[in-house]
Amino acid sequence: MNLDSFQQQLSFLGSELYQKIKEHGIIREVEPNTEILREKEYVRYVPLVLSGLVRVAARFEDKEMLLYYIQPLESCVMSFSASRENTPSKVFAVTELKSVVLLLPSDKLVFWLHAHPVLHNIFYKEYDKRYGDLLNTLQQVIFQKMEDRLYDYLKTKQKAFADKQTEFSPTKIARELGTAREVISRVAHKLETEGKIKISKNVVILTHRD
């Protein structure tokens, strides 16, 4: 796959930076459920998602916590931060859908940031957005009941997928919300009884939107 297929989407970079990225960046078409960033490994490439969807999460002992999704023309500030500090990644990233990812080499990115302010703007916006995402996650964990967390999770998931329904896997959801499968199954049944969701053939549909 050639980067020129996405030239119009990347026009905001400017022709000079675009040519540098075209020369040194790596474009990859990635199948769903592929880990593109590994925890505890040094970051040599910072991903910029061109199409598809990528989930970023952190592990805590035997549980994991969903942090945010990377949508088209968004990047991962956690990998960006790790690459700048030359420290191992504290998170991992997995493709949720078939995705096209542009890998920006960390050693080049440092120089591009100084020469091209547009990159600064991109990552400043990413920091602001992800900071808001993390605060929201923290608020949910501390203050929200599990039924509210699950309902918000399903709304976020369907919005990210731009679909009216999504796969219902209690095991996967429990892992991403840092709880037990049995808890998710029980809470999902409660939400269905309340008429907020409908579960059928391993998919969940939101029937009531706030």
C-alpha pair distances (Å), 210 with each of 148, 152, 193, 195: 12, 10, 17, 12
| Same domain assignment for residues 136 and 163 | no
| Same domain assignment for residues 96 and 20 | yes
| Same domain assignment for residues 98 and 195 | no
Structure confidence at residue 144 (pLDDT)? 78
| Same domain assignment for residues 105 and 157 | no
| Same domain assignment for residues 132 and 56 | yes
| Same domain assignment for residues 11 and 32 | yes
| Same domain assignment for residues 151 and 52 | no
Closest CA relative to residue 28, chosen from 4, 1, 54: 1
The helix (run of H) or strand (run of E) holding residue 11 is none
CB 100 within 8 A of CB 29: yes
- Which CATH number covers residue 160? 1.10.10.10
| Same domain assignment for residues 74 and 29 | yes
Tokens of 94: 């997995």
- Which CATH number covers residue 8? 2.60.120.10
Gyration radius from the chain CA atoms:
18
Residue 92, judged by CB atoms within 10 A of its CB (0-12, 13-18, 19+), counts as: buried
| Same domain assignment for residues 29 and 112 | yes
Q: Rounded to the nearest 10 degrees, how much is the dihedral formed by the CA atoms of 108, 113, 117, 123?
A: 110
> DSSP secondary structure string, 126-157?
HHHHHHHHHHHHHHHHHHS-HHHHHHHHHHHH
State which residues form the domain around 138. Answer: 3-142
| Same domain assignment for residues 159 and 122 | no
Number of domains in the chain: 2
| Same domain assignment for residues 22 and 120 | yes
pLDDT string in tens for the chain (210-residue length)? 789 999 999 999 999 999 999 999 999 999 999 999 999 999 999 999 999 999 999 988 777 888 888 999 999 999 999 998 999 999 999 999 899 999 999 999 989 998 999 988 888 888 888 888 778 777 777 767 889 889 988 888 887 777 666 777 888 888 888 888 899 999 999 999 999 988 887 888 888 655
CB 147 within 8 A of CB 190: yes
